[in-house]
Structure 1
């Protein structure tokens, strides 16, 4: 019995010592199988995909990703764009000043000119309905001045001469004609755009010559220009050059320019 008791006491002492040793160590769970950590990666990957999706959505909400692009905040007021106001350029025959400016643009490097005379392009007279309604004293009836005209000297390729230029809105029944239709240089023809063109070359006294052009455009505007080697294209004044500074063909190019 003594030996059994001693053996039992010895086992009890061993258990007490074992308990004392394990009590000082942290509690450890048994290791999980190797497949379980992979299962936990799935929700982490999904969370990453969700975050990426939110970032992509933020980019798609902004069409232009430039740094200067801004999006309107909720409730912010946006002003409507200001309307674009376009102004119609003045007609060439609105005034002598506009006519001279447009004439220079048409000529370009072809010629230079000096304006010494300005005035209306034409005077429209109203015919009486019957002879009885005419002015009792037989005087001229007052007309309406329309369009614009300029005159002076023009120089091209070193040759100077006189010129005059008239533009005015016609009455719709205007026709192209030469002041001297019997002259060999008189030509009247229709242009492809519907304009009516008359050109001529008139011999003046004392070696003078005047080149002329008259154009009636489809919009009714009448263009008349004379260029002479005399100071006045009508034949008066001194002789300034051996021939007019512009040829008939050059006058036609001026009259039919699309820069008027």
Structure 2
């Protein structure tokens, strides 16, 4: 069975005003979107609930992060159970900015993933290598090690609620993009790892999406690759071209 194309918009710490959020919501609500694509947007936590109420029902809302505890004295954090109670279906975990700026290890990301799944959330699990790691041919090793931490904690059935986002750190916000061949090769390697570490059935069913300066100009070619099942979009998700990225697989 073919994997459903998935496009996520990670707004990061944007937009900077309620007016900008409203304009972005209006754009998405009025756009002609490919109904066969699963679309998820991840605003800052402050805007999660209002955006959920304002956005069209075909678009789901995701948190950009959560903690691995259900409750307690963890100032500034959001628990998976709180997200579930608020009706937020998805959470992004392990984004490179969380790993590099906030020093989250793969083991912490795996703990968060397990906790989110236990709360019946779906997870966009991010992995990816730095430029130095890419240039020293460590891409497959790095991605496999980042995933192994999750494999060690999860059951095979858990993977049905995980979307893997391959985001080469060197291509995030830099304007650099992995070529369609680089993306395909890495996604194929990730799928091979999942087949070995979890099961061939899980590998075949799991969606692996690409993130790293995806835009209107490169999304169509990337979308034609057999192991690229969608995108996690950063800066471009705040612009009108996000609609073109969502519709990348449409033939016109």
Work out whether the TM-score is over 0.5: no
Q: Greater Rg, structure 1 or structure 2? A: 1
Q: Which has more helix, going by share of residues?
A: 2
TMscore range, shorter length:
under 0.3
Bigger RCO (CA 8 Å, 6+ sep): 2
TM-score calculated relative to the size of structure 2? 0.23
Q: If each structure's strand is expressed as a fraction of its own residues, which one has the higher value? A: 1
